[in-house]
Structure 1
Amino acid sequence: MTSISRIPSGSSSDEIDLIALFQAIWQQKKIIIATTIISGMIALGYAYYATPEYQVTSVLRPAAINELDALNRSGVYTLPPSEALMKVGASLESYDSRLGFFRDNQELFRQFKRPGRTLEQSFEEFNRDSLKLVLPDPKKADALSAFIGLELNYPKGVDGVQILNGFVDYAINAEREQIAADLKVIVNNRLTELKGKIDAARSSYENDKAARIATLQEADNLKRAQLQDELKALRQQLKVARSDRMAQLSEAIGIAKTLGIQKPTTPSALGDSVRSGDTSVMRTEINNQQIPLYFMGVEALEAERAALQQRKTDDFTEGRIAQIARELQLLQSNREVEVLKQRQNEDVFLSGVEPLRAEVVRLGNLNNLDFTNLKLVSIDRKALEPMAPVKPKKSLIVVMGLLLGGMFGVFIVLMQYLVKSHRLQQQRLSPVLSATLSGAQGVVSGNGKVLQSDRR
């Protein structure tokens, strides 16, 4: 059996000849130059006719300590410069602040409005693509790196400088108003608390005053009742003493009548009266014994008894009764109670409220604190009119256009070279392939005859 000869391999012909490739590119250099020029012209046209985009920047830094001294010395609101910067930064980043500025200054944002869009939708595009907050690197924690930057990209025809500076001022004023409102709420709360303490002190004073008046009146009533009881007892005692005296006098009168004593006498004189003799004798009697009452004689005793019977009161006989009357007269009105009731401005008598009143006055003055000049941050750099647009970068666009045009031209030349090389290779292989196919058919036919003879 005869074997079929193999078809020659064309792998060596598939290898790209670099020298031939470079020669082909050089021969077609006009195409590369043309595509490069066309692409460059297109890029140049785009660079000169595209809408320029500008960028402005503003930088904020912490304010000086003395700028916030008045607020920090208030004792109710503490705001370090770094915290004030963060508050302003939060206001600059706030969606509500940006939307509020957008609504209040719609004339500045005319070019950002699109037909068929709401105000919020137009603002959303501006907020997403145009405004950017720049914060310092968190790895740099030194004081020199504390800043907040704000960048605004805007097309030609928009007053970006006024927008950015106006928004910075708007955010600072909004934060200043918020601080003023917070301080006012804190001060009012403190004032309410202090007034509550003063009212509590006033209520305590009124209770103490009422208790003092009640105590004094109770003491007066008790003293008055005791004096009246004492007066009643003394009068009863004097009445009993008078009755006893009258009984004694009645008894003595009876004895004196029995003895016939009409005039006051003594026991010695009574003994001598029954004797006769010289009546010009004068006697003196000294003894330490009390002479009985009947020696006063009937006339004196009856006169005394009659006087006692006619007596209507015995008060003058006891000095204590006059003293009791004096004390009762004094108890008719308690001067201390009257003075307590007649007080007009009772707040001056409140104890322990002087510091509270001083704090109320101090906090009241804080409501008059002027926040219009409160400097929360220092504007290190305001937005200035840019010298040139940031987009489009004309030179870069033209260079990129030329490069892309050149690359496209080289690509076209390479594709032409590869197509041409593939055709030449097919033309070169066609005769060989035809001869090979013919030989293969002859071999097949010869083998067929051999097989037939063998069968016979």
Structure 2
Amino acid sequence: MNIPVNTIDTPRQEVVEVKELIGSLWDQRAIILLFTALTVTAAIAYALLATPEYEVETTVRPVPLADLDELNESGLYKLLPKDALNIIGSSMQSYDVRLKFFQANPQYLAPLQAPGQSIESAFETFNERAFSLEKIDPKKSSSLSEAVGLSLRYPQGVDGVGILRDFTDFVVKGEKEKVALNLKILIANRIDQAEKKLESKKSAYEAEKDSKIAHLLEKDQLKKQVLQDELKALRQQLQSRRQNRIKELDEAIVIAKKLGIVKPTTPSALGDGEQAHQGNMIRTEVNNQKIPLYFLGQAALEAERATLVARHSDDFTEPRIDEIQKELSLLATNREAALLKERNHPELFLKDFADISGELTHLKQLNVNFDQLKLVNVDKDATEPQAPIKPKKALIVGFGLIFGFMLGLGVAIIRRAVLSLHSSRR
């Protein structure tokens, strides 16, 4: 027994449904066009009423090494073109530097500043998305050298070109002033160090000179005291000798009186007495013993004793006393110490004076012309943009057209589905 089977032609049914959908959408074309027109109108209104935004940019590159030669030749400050570029880039990126620029130039933010709003608050809002800094690496780009690019987005009514130009000048001038101040501080510190070093050496020299003078004078004083002690001892010795001689003479005079010796004689002559001598006779007496002093006779002894008693000084009897007097006279003035005391310019006798003096002269005459000094080259200056970057009117209108058409289709499809549902329930 054969059972009949109902077959459904699926492709044909889908085609029929698509035709019905297209027909339904066509019937609702007014709705689709209405939504499309509304969104396009809104897009056109936005494109026309939105505040245009512009973008301007500037690029700075390193200067040749020769431009920084005057600064580097000072020997105190070393700055390479690459380092100068990094300093400028870092300063451009600094929030504090940007704020100081707008505080110094409030007219640039005046169009954006609400009534009663502070310059700091207006800057905070503007700075969030206005500045964009990019460092160009020649290894990662087509550029042949390093560079720093700074771009600025700003709404219509704001002098963006003036902001970027003046901000670049502000940064370069500020960093140049910092370099000048740093160099000035370094020079002042080096001068202070050199002067302190010179004063220290002068003080050390003065102390050494005073020590040497004191040593020389002390040495002379010691020698004087030794010589004076020797002189005193010699005089005491001579005086003692004279007194002893007087005592010897006194004893001899007593003996001579007792013997009746008035004039000088000899023991042999005294033994002969008053014997008469016939003819001419020459007597020679050889005796190894010392002849007693009283044989000189009373007259001679008394004369010598009187002379010794009347003597006021025995110095002439000792040659060493003359030598001591001479040495004491020479020690009265130490010529070396006197010359040391008379030195009015001690720096002339310092070993390192010429080097320190030369360094001081170099530092005091050191002068870098910062007016001619260039830290970076402004390779691309800020210029007026040809057209705004926002809003992009064609893109906005095109997007509004597509969105409106899609929205209209969506509304039409939903409306058809709702109507179909109501029909099936009936």
Give deviations 1:159-182, integer Å, cap 9, x for gaps.
211210111111122222223333
Q: Describe the SS at the equivalent of 2:133.
A: strand
Aligned to 2:9: none
Structure 2 residue 359 is the aligned partner of structure 1 residue 349:
no
Write out aligned runs for 1:311-390 (5 A): 311-352=311-352, 354-366=354-366, 368-390=367-389
Range with bigger deviation, 42-51 or 218-227: 42-51
Question: Quick check: 2:57–2:381 contact (8 Å CA) kept in 1?
Answer: yes
Separation in 2 of the partners of 1:369 and 1:244? Answer: 93
Range with bigger deviation, 374-383 or 99-108: 374-383
| Partner AA of 1:380 in structure 2 | D
Range with bigger deviation, 37-46 or 234-243: 37-46
Structure 2 residue 123 is the aligned partner of structure 1 residue 123:
yes
- Name which one, 1 or 2, has greater alpha-carbon Rg: 1
User: CA shift at 1:122, angstroms?
Assistant: 1.0
Aligned to 1:92: 92
Structure 2 residue 133 is the aligned partner of structure 1 residue 133:
yes
Aligned to 2:308: 308
- The Cα RMSD (Å) is 3.4
Aligned to 1:82: 82
Give deviations 1:212-248, integer Å, cap 9, x for gaps.
2222222222112111111111001111111222223
Aligned to 1:212: 212
User: CA shift at 1:111, angstroms?
Assistant: 1.0
Structure 2 residue 385 is the aligned partner of structure 1 residue 392:
no
5+ residue gaps, structure 1, are 1-12, 431-456
| Partner AA of 2:173 in structure 1 | N
Separation in 1 of the partners of 2:220 and 2:51? Answer: 102
Q: Describe the SS at the equivalent of 1:17.
A: helix
Aligned to 2:405: 406
5+ residue gaps, structure 2, are 1-12
Aligned to 2:163: 163
Aligned to 1:237: 237
What percentage of residue pairs aligned between the two structures are identical? Answer: 46
Structure 2 residue 153 is the aligned partner of structure 1 residue 150:
no
Question: Quick check: 2:252–2:301 contact (8 Å CA) kept in 1?
Answer: yes
Aligned to 1:298: 298
Question: Quick check: 2:51–2:155 contact (8 Å CA) kept in 1?
Answer: yes
Separation in 2 of the partners of 1:417 and 1:139? Answer: 61
Q: Describe the SS at the equivalent of 2:116.
A: coil
User: CA shift at 1:138, angstroms?
Assistant: 12
Separation in 2 of the partners of 1:420 and 1:145? Answer: 69
User: CA shift at 1:23, angstroms?
Assistant: 3.2
User: CA shift at 1:389, angstroms?
Assistant: 1.5
State the TM-score, normalizing by the size of structure 2: 0.84
Separation in 2 of the partners of 1:244 and 1:42? Answer: 149
Q: Describe the SS at the equivalent of 2:109.
A: helix
Aligned to 1:433: none
State the TM-score, normalizing by the size of structure 1: 0.79
| Partner AA of 2:225 in structure 1 | A
User: CA shift at 1:100, angstroms?
Assistant: 1.0
Separation in 2 of the partners of 1:289 and 1:203? Answer: 74
User: Structure 1 residues 252 and 16 mapped into 2: Cα distance closer, same or farther (>3 Å)?
Assistant: farther
User: CA shift at 1:365, angstroms?
Assistant: 4.2
Separation in 2 of the partners of 1:120 and 1:379? Answer: 28
Separation in 1 of the partners of 2:279 and 2:294? Answer: 24
Structure 2 residue 22 is the aligned partner of structure 1 residue 22:
yes
Separation in 2 of the partners of 1:229 and 1:164? Answer: 96
Give deviations 1:353-407, integer Å, cap 9, x for gaps.
55444444444445x4333333222322221121222122222222223222322
Aligned to 1:417: 416
Question: Quick check: 2:161–2:383 contact (8 Å CA) kept in 1?
Answer: yes
| Partner AA of 1:107 in structure 2 | Q
Q: Describe the SS at the equivalent of 1:59.
A: strand
Separation in 2 of the partners of 1:102 and 1:407? Answer: 47
Give deviations 1:54-103, integer Å, cap 9, x for gaps.
11111223333333334444444433333332222222122221111101
| Partner AA of 1:396 in structure 2 | L
